Amino acid sequence: MRWGMLIDLKKCVGCHACTVACQNENHLPLAMKYCKVYKVGPEGEYPNLTSYNIPIACMHCQEAPCVEGCPSGASHHREDGTVSINPKKCVGCRFCLLVCPYGVRHMNKETGAVEKCTLCVERLETGEVTRCTETCQLKARHVGDLDDPDSELVRIIHKENARPLYEHLGTKPSIYYIMP
Amino acid sequence: MEQKQEYWGWLATGYFFLAAMGAMMAAVVAMLDVLGVTVIDQIYGWVSFAALVITGCGSLLLMVELTHIFRAYLVYARPKSIMCMGSYLLTSFLGLTFVYTTFFIYFVPWSGWVLVRKLVAVLDIVAALGLVVYPGLELAEARGRSFWQGSGLVALFLVSATSTGLAGVLLMLIFFELSGSEYLGVLSTLLTVSLVLQLVLLGSYLWGVRLNGTKEGRQAILNMVKGPYCVNFWGGVVVLGTLIPLGLSILGKMVPFAVGAAALVLIGGLFFRRTFLQAAERISMPGEENQQINDQQTKELAAALESRWMEKARWLKNQCS
Amino acid sequence: MSEYKKVACHFCHMNCGMVAQVEDGVITKVTGDPEHPFNQGAQCPRGASALDHLNHPNRINFPLKRVGNRGAGQFERVSWEEALGDITAKLVELKDTYGAETLSSLGGTNRTDDFARRRFFNLFGSPNVAHTAPVCWIPNFLVEAASYGWAAFDPEIMNTRCVVIWGHNPATSYLPEMRGLLQAKENGAKIIVIDPIFSETAAKADLWLPVRPGSDNALALAWLNVIITEGLYDYEFVEEWTVGFEELSERVESYTPEWAEEKTGVSAELIAQAARMYAAAKPACIQWGVATDQFGRGSSAGAQARAALRIITGNLDVPGGDVMPGPHPEFITDWEMELNELLPESQRQKQLGADKFKLNTWPGYQLLTDNMVRVWGKSIPAEWFCEANAPMLFRAMITSQPYPVKACIVLANNPLVSYANSRLVYQALKSLDLLVVMDYWMTPSALLADYVLPAASWLERPVMTTTYGVSDWLIASERAIEPMFERKTDVDFWRELGLRLGQAEYWPWENDEEIFQYRLAPIGLETDSYEEFVQCYRMAFAPREYRKYQERGVATPSGKVELKSSILEQLGYDPLPHYVEPPFGSEARPEQAKAYPLTLVAGGGFMPFFHSEHREVTRIRLLRPYPRVAINPELAKKMSIHSNEWVWIETPTGRVKQQAFVTSAVAPDVIQAERGWWFPEKPTVDPELMGVFESNINVCLDDDPDTCDEACGSWCTRAVMCRIRKVGEGD
Ligand code: SF4
Ligand code: SF4
Ligand code: SF4
């Protein structure tokens, strides 16, 4: 079992609904975003242009620098493959913020612990989709089990040749993107 | 913006600097001790005591940096992580240096056990080298910050630490008015060599990253040589921290020169760590540069808006009373 | 215990269905309703922030009465009783002195049930209700209605081969629509986007036509030319069901792609290629959009050309084409609720603008209604489709010409930000004897009011979605909670004001639900309450029928689809598509072109805001904190402007500043400024009025009636000559 997600950049319009819905779901401080969305481009010269949007949150790396680097064991892999942080163990050394190549971790000043996207595991466990998937008007997101070759998720990943972001870093992310 | 390294600031810089300086001070005397150089042995105890205090201060900075000091013991929890390994190295170094220092207290029963002392000295050297070397390995863990992944980062840290350690010992010699001893000359020669080496390694490190590095690696170098950190880099690291002390140490072995050189080397060591920590940009996410405001500005705006809404709420309420 | 209420979002027209979780009368969570056909469980960022909006500390919660000078920001809380009593007394006095037409109303889009407003106004006797309708779909709708008896605004994009998106950017405005579009694309439909800006929607298109701002009309004419000269039109349909094809062919003969190339900046080849793509696809459709209503003069001429395109390609009311819904046959529509018949002819004639802009005022509306009633049995509502012309209304407020307009009730609208020529609007509002504003917030316009009344938002009111009363379906949603504090719905407001003015017999219902229940009754579902309908049925869609003209005929005077519109002709307008030069372009004003070398596009919705709303919802605001003007890198370089630097935007009418957004999405000689900007955090006193003149692009737009669309009075927000410069120290 390994939870994973697929984000279809052909569909995403960069509306930030996922950003906001996630903030509400997780009761985040106003300025803290587990999921950011960047607009790429337009690249080229008017009128020969291309542009797309890309949401970025924790990639739930299998070879996670944050987990490897965490001295206290607060950052860890769950059995379902997601990377999780135990706030009771976090000492606040911020080493994980330094080593995460995707820049998706945040120090929550209120709790003194580091936080990031949880892939809504509590929701996944009750059969719901993640909040960002639910709220996406464009249906650009899919969640599922990457270990199950018959899952809808794996099927689309193969069909669309979806790839993780910055594979060359070798972190083996569990988030895949359909490139535009 | 967010690619900048803003997570480890002055506290971490201070820790790396003090730990390196303390460790190499201790290593220098331990080495001399093991080699049987006895002329200045009256200050071995004092130097290693100073190393203990300096490194101790460094580790305090490290503790202060944690958000949960009372859980600090958890930094020993996962020996597999490099940071945890660093904690063990630090602790062993502090312990060994403490023990080593006690050999120089005359009323301590074991103060005469020379062989044991030398054995402790050897262990201390190992711990000190480890302590000096691991930050380079630690930073190299950041896969998205390719500036730290050039080959030779470890060597660079080692050489810089050696310079600061030598500078520390030099200052102690002078403090104890041993400036007449021939070792002042030896140490300052060593310092000269170390500084030359430092200059060469620094240059080749930056060249290496420039040639083989990624976009963000090259950006880090630009930040250092032309960008926001160029004053620290050129002024602090290169000129004040290396070239002037090099000149001074070549010029003469006189006390004022030596004091000046040593003090500048320390400043240089501090700036070296500061710029190297700061400059390492993270690989940027596609489109990340297009944000209208960065995280810090977002935080400030959020706070400003919220407090303004409260003010307006009071205004609206006053109309209603 | 948790209750789940089926509510509908009012933050934009989409009215996405939501589920509100209510615990002991407090809403704890609002999520998308998975059973709702539009959003299918999703929410945009506004919808996802519903609770921030509901519980915001700056919401207006009690009626306020002005105590200091107008604009001084001094109010005192009064009871509803007192506020309504005062307003009634003042209205009676003004009506006695100046006549009923002295009362006007300005409305916003879709937070309200505007049949109630019109019912009140008809009973009161004033024809002077206005919205931003002339720049928001109404010209397109009415021109279509004049050509074929209703608008074909329900394109079946799921079954189509080609979708034309004309001056519309659903990727930043109506996301459920965008989802449909991308699905259509997956189904194999070709997407053509016509937009001077490389919009988020254009980025996903198969073909993007980067027209020069304001030149859409020329493009449409050239498409007609290509399709007719190359014989790509639907012979059979044209032959059997249309009149005026000969005249049309003759008319468009000179509008060749080469002619259009010069106007649009798009190569003749690409124009022809796109026209062929559209005409060859069977079926194809042109989606609704509002940018084409915002050209000022020539807006409805452009709409005529697009209507003709839909007709001659044979896409009218066919599966996968431009489906023309018509009114719902059963439930009581907005039109039926308005009591237009009670407004005397003498008062109709006084409608401001009716003598100049005749299509969307009583003269045109009457003609259209006669035809629609003949064919459909019902007409379109007078709200939106038959209104006073706002630029004329503001001028009447200031000059008392042709007669004094002394009172205005503003509901769900912030006219200082949403109408062109903001400084004139300001002058107009300040000339009034009575200004009442009902809103969620203390807006700049509300600051000028004599009474500010607290409005209930969508979680506190039932919502019935009927697309301004012109769809053949409805979706019903309930309230999650009773209005908080002393907030009220607009229906409550109009009713209670009506009761005080002797309209009691026309307001037999106690609340919104009773009215909605009354309106639903003819469907015959025998539900005991409105809530029961919501819980059990929620929707009523008329059975989909195509080619309804075959059985019903066409709601035009000729009974045919009119390529040459007899209604327009009768009103004194050119009945055929024709070219009109954009009123603020270099073609029309060559003498200004030198001083103002750039072209301003002052419109376009953008996430996460809806018009001038949501600036005070912190979470939303942080996504787009400051106004941005899009500038091409080449231009930015020339003027040494960097991203996020403040830039003055100047036209002969005014200047405002916005932050530079350097992007190649705009052409080097075009800039696009964001609209709707004011700053709720800024000082609340006149004349600063929360920065309403600082970045609000409407300050730069002229609404001189002579530059407005001939038939509908639309003012120009696109293709306006302008210049920019960097904001310097101290200016
Ligand atoms: S909600 Fe969907 S479309 Fe919007 S930004 Fe997120 S992933 Fe993209
Ligand atoms: S994206 Fe960052 S935080 Fe998430 S698992 Fe990978 S390294 Fe850790
Ligand atoms: S698109 Fe957003 S604002 Fe519009 S109705 Fe849907 S959730 Fe509400």
Distance, in Å, from the CA atom of C125 to the CA atom of C131, rounded to the nearest integer, reads 18
Mean pLDDT of the region C294-322: 97
Tell how far the Cα of C618 is from the centroid of ligand 3, in angstroms: 18
Name chain B contacts of C75, Cβ cutoff 8 Å. Answer: 319
Six-digit token pair at B83?
């940071």
Distance, in Å, from the CA atom of C627 to the CA atom of B294, rounded to the nearest integer, reads 16
User: In CATH, what class is A3-12+58-178?
Assistant: alpha beta
Distance, in Å, from the CA atom of A35 to the CA atom of A37, rounded to the nearest integer, reads 7
How many other β-carbons are positioned within 10 Å of the β-carbon of residue C163?
Answer: 26
Residue nearest to atom 7 of ligand 2 (CA): A100
Ligand nearest to the CA of A38: 1
C-alpha dihedral over A90, A94, A100, A106, to 10 degrees? Answer: 80
Give the distance from residue C662's alpha carbon to the nearest chain B alpha carbon, in angstroms: 10
* CA separation, residue C559 to residues B38, C150, C304, C365, C565 (Å): 118, 13, 18, 17, 11
Q: For the domain that residue B39 is a member of, what is the CATH number?
A: 1.20.1630.10
Are B128 and B161 in contact by the 8 Å Cβ rule? The answer is no
Q: Containing H/E element for B182? A: helix B182-212
Distance, in Å, from the CA atom of C275 to the CA atom of C472, rounded to the nearest integer, reads 31
- Does B304 sit within 8 Å of C681, measured CB to CB? yes
Name chain C contacts of A21, Cβ cutoff 8 Å. Answer: 43, 45, 48
**End-to-end CA distance of chain B, in Å?**
47
Q: What is the pLDDT of residue B318?
A: 80
Residues B69-108: tens digit of each pLDDT: 889 899 999 999 999 999 999 999 999 999 999 998 888 8
Domain span including residue B62: 10-284
Q: Is the pLDDT of residue B39 over 70?
A: no
Q: Ligand 3 site: residues with CB under 6 angstroms?
A: C 9, 11-12, 14-16, 39, 43-44, 46-47, 175
Tell how far the Cα of A75 is from the centroid of ligand 2, in angstroms: 10
Residues A91-121: tens digit of each pLDDT: 999 999 999 999 999 999 889 999 999 999 9
B169: Cβ–Cβ under 8 A, 6 or more apart, which residues? B25, B28, B29, B47, B187
- Does C621 sit within 8 Å of B305, measured CB to CB? yes
Q: 0.90 exceeded by the pTM?
A: yes
- Does A45 sit within 8 Å of C172, measured CB to CB? no
Which site among B290, B311, B320, B321 would you substitute to test the C interface, given the most C Cβ atoms closer than 10 Å to its Cβ?
A: B320
Closest listed residue to residue C292, CA positions, set C423, C145, C140, C144: C140
Residues C257-288: tens digit of each pLDDT: 999 999 999 999 999 999 999 999 999 999 99
Tell how far the Cα of A89 is from the centroid of ligand 1, in angstroms: 33
Residues C430-477: tens digit of each pLDDT: 999 999 999 999 999 999 999 999 999 999 999 999 988 899 999 999
- Does B292 sit within 8 Å of C659, measured CB to CB? yes
Distance, in Å, from the CA atom of B142 to the CA atom of C189, rounded to the nearest integer, reads 46
Q: Does A42 touch chain C (CB under 8 A)?
A: yes
- Does B286 sit within 8 Å of A54, measured CB to CB? yes
Residue nearest to atom 4 of ligand 1 (CA): A15
Are A57 and A31 in contact by the 8 Å Cβ rule? The answer is no
Distance, in Å, from the CA atom of B264 to the CA atom of B168, rounded to the nearest integer, reads 11
Ligand nearest to the CA of A39: 1
Q: What is the mean pLDDT of chain C?
A: 96
Task: Give residue B251's pLDDT band: very low, low, confident or very high (50, 70, 90).
Answer: confident
Q: Does B200 touch chain C (CB under 8 A)?
A: no
B149: Cβ–Cβ under 8 A, 6 or more apart, which residues? B140, B142, B143, B213, B217
Name chain B contacts of A74, Cβ cutoff 8 Å. Answer: 74
* CA separation, residue C682 to residues A122, B305, C689 (Å): 42, 10, 8
Closest listed residue to residue C113, CA positions, set C397, C387, C333, C301: C333
Name chain A contacts of C607, Cβ cutoff 8 Å. Answer: 13-16
Name chain C contacts of B310, Cβ cutoff 8 Å. Answer: 57
Tell how far the Cα of A53 is from the centroid of ligand 1, in angstroms: 8
Ligand nearest to the CA of C176: 3
* CA separation, residue C718 to residues C597, C600, C651, C722 (Å): 15, 6, 13, 11
Distance, in Å, from the CA atom of A150 to the CA atom of A163, rounded to the nearest integer, reads 18
The total number of structural domains that make up chain B: 1
Which site among B290, B293, B299, B316 would you substitute to test the C interface, given the most C Cβ atoms closer than 10 Å to its Cβ?
A: B316
- Does A11 sit within 8 Å of C42, measured CB to CB? no
Are C511 and C458 in contact by the 8 Å Cβ rule? The answer is no
Q: Which residue of B has its CA nearest to A30?
A: B302
Longest dimension (CA), chain A: 53
- Does B286 sit within 8 Å of A40, measured CB to CB? yes
C503: Cβ–Cβ under 8 A, 6 or more apart, which residues? C120, C123, C124
In a domain, B190, yes or no: yes
Longest dimension (CA), chain B: 87
Closest listed residue to residue C633, CA positions, set C599, C670, C596, C597: C670
Mean pLDDT of the region B20-43: 85
Q: Does A140 touch chain C (CB under 8 A)?
A: no
Closest listed residue to residue C418, CA positions, set C552, C588, C248, C294: C294
Size of interface A-C (CB pairs under 8 A): 107
Select the residue of B2, B139, B299 nearest A103 (Cβ to Cβ): B2
Q: Which residue of A has its CA nearest to C175?
A: A137
Tell how far the Cα of A64 is from the centroid of ligand 2, in angstroms: 6
Give the distance from residue C627's alpha carbon to the nearest chain A alpha carbon, in angstroms: 17
Name chain A contacts of C171, Cβ cutoff 8 Å. Answer: 13, 15
Distance, in Å, from the CA atom of C533 to the CA atom of C540, rounded to the nearest integer, reads 10
Ligand nearest to the CA of A178: 1
Per DSSP, the three-state class of B315 is: helix
Q: What is the pLDDT of residue B177?
A: 76
CA angle C300, C305, C308 (to 5 degrees): 125
Mean pLDDT of the region C479-490: 97
Q: What is the pLDDT of residue B38?
A: 66
Residue C411: φ, ψ to 5°:
-130, 120
Distance, in Å, from the CA atom of B127 to the CA atom of C706, rounded to the nearest integer, reads 87
In a domain, B312, yes or no: no
Ligand nearest to the CA of A17: 1
Tell how far the Cα of A36 is from the centroid of ligand 1, in angstroms: 10
Q: What is the pLDDT of residue C655?
A: 97
Task: Give residue C638's pLDDT band: very low, low, confident or very high (50, 70, 90).
Answer: very high
Q: What is the pLDDT of residue B43?
A: 83
- Does C618 sit within 8 Å of B306, measured CB to CB? yes
Task: Give residue B320's pLDDT band: very low, low, confident or very high (50, 70, 90).
Answer: low
Domain boundaries, chain A: 3-12+58-178
Tell me the HSE value of C504 on the side-chain side, using a 13 A CA sphere.
Answer: 2
Q: Does B231 touch chain C (CB under 8 A)?
A: no
Per DSSP, the three-state class of A43 is: strand
Please state at what angle helix B153-175 crosses helix B255-279, rounded to 10 degrees: 150
Name chain B contacts of C621, Cβ cutoff 8 Å. Answer: 301, 305
Distance, in Å, from the CA atom of C448 to the CA atom of C430, rounded to the nearest integer, reads 7
Q: What is the ipTM of this complex?
A: 0.96
In a domain, B293, yes or no: no
Amino acid at B241: G
Q: Is the pLDDT of residue B41 over 70?
A: no
Q: Does B290 touch chain A (CB under 8 A)?
A: yes
Amino acid at C350: K
- Does B298 sit within 8 Å of C618, measured CB to CB? no
Q: Is the pLDDT of residue B198 over 60?
A: yes
- Does C74 sit within 8 Å of B319, measured CB to CB? yes
CA angle C458, C462, C468 (to 5 degrees): 85
Atom number in ligand 3 closest to CA C12: 4
In a domain, B294, yes or no: no
Six-digit token pair at C558?
């000729």
Distance, in Å, from the CA atom of B18 to the CA atom of B90, rounded to the nearest integer, reads 12
Six-digit token pair at A52?
């797309």
Q: What is the mean pLDDT of chain B?
A: 91
Distance, in Å, from the CA atom of B12 to the CA atom of B138, rounded to the nearest integer, reads 13
Q: Is the pLDDT of residue B188 over 90?
A: no
- Does B78 sit within 8 Å of A112, measured CB to CB? no
Q: Where are the beta strands (DSSP E) in C289-374?
A: 322-323
Give the distance from residue C44's alpha carbon to the nearest chain A alpha carbon, in angstroms: 5
Please state at what angle helix B10-35 crosses helix B255-279, rounded to 10 degrees: 130
Six-digit token pair at B194?
């170390």
* CA separation, residue C356 to residues C389, C394, C706, C710 (Å): 9, 15, 10, 7
Query: What domains can be seen in chain C, in order of their start residue?
Result: 2-54 (3.30.200.210), 64-136+334-473+482-503 (3.40.50.740), 152-323 (3.40.228.10), 590-726 (2.40.40.20)
Are C123 and C704 in contact by the 8 Å Cβ rule? The answer is no
Distance, in Å, from the CA atom of C335 to the CA atom of C341, rounded to the nearest integer, reads 11
Q: Which residue of A has its CA nearest to B277?
A: A98
Q: What is the pLDDT of residue C696?
A: 98
In a domain, B4, yes or no: no
Tell me the HSE value of A135 on the side-chain side, using a 13 A CA sphere.
Answer: 25
Q: Ligand 1 site: residues with CB under 6 angstroms?
A: A 12-18, 37, 53, 55, 135-136, 138, 140-141
Are C33 and A2 in contact by the 8 Å Cβ rule? The answer is no
Q: What is the pLDDT of residue C676?
A: 96
Question: Does the CA dihedral C105-C109-C113-C114 come out positive or negative?
Answer: positive
Pairing of strands A113-115, A106-108: antiparallel
Select the residue of C32, C49, C632 nearest A20 (Cβ to Cβ): C49
Residue nearest to atom 2 of ligand 3 (CA): C44
Q: Does B311 touch chain A (CB under 8 A)?
A: no
Q: Where are the beta strands (DSSP E) in A26-121?
A: 36-45, 48-56, 75-77, 83-85, 106-108, 113-115
Quick check: CB of A106 below 6 Å from ligand 2?
Answer: no
In a domain, B113, yes or no: yes
Burial class (CB in 10 A: 0-12, 13-18, 19+), C81: exposed
Task: Give residue C62's pLDDT band: very low, low, confident or very high (50, 70, 90).
Answer: very high
Q: Is the pLDDT of residue B37 over 90?
A: no
Residues B166-178: tens digit of each pLDDT: 999 999 988 887 7
Are C58 and C616 in contact by the 8 Å Cβ rule? The answer is yes
In a domain, B280, yes or no: yes
If you write DSSP's letter for every residue of B137-173 in order, what string do you get? HHHHT-TT-GGGGSTTHHHHHHHHHHHHHHHHHHHHH
Q: Is the pLDDT of residue B22 over 60?
A: yes
Distance, in Å, from the CA atom of B23 to the CA atom of B5, rounded to the nearest integer, reads 26
Are C48 and C17 in contact by the 8 Å Cβ rule? The answer is no
Q: Which residue of C has its CA nearest to A16?
A: C45
Q: What is the pLDDT of residue C395?
A: 98
Residue nearest to atom 8 of ligand 1 (CA): A12
Cross-sheet strand order for the sheet of C284-286? C207-209, C190-194, C162-166, C284-286
Q: What is the pLDDT of residue B44?
A: 87
Closest listed residue to residue C221, CA positions, set C265, C266, C259, C252: C252
Residue C316 is given by DSSP the state B
Q: Does B182 touch chain A (CB under 8 A)?
A: no
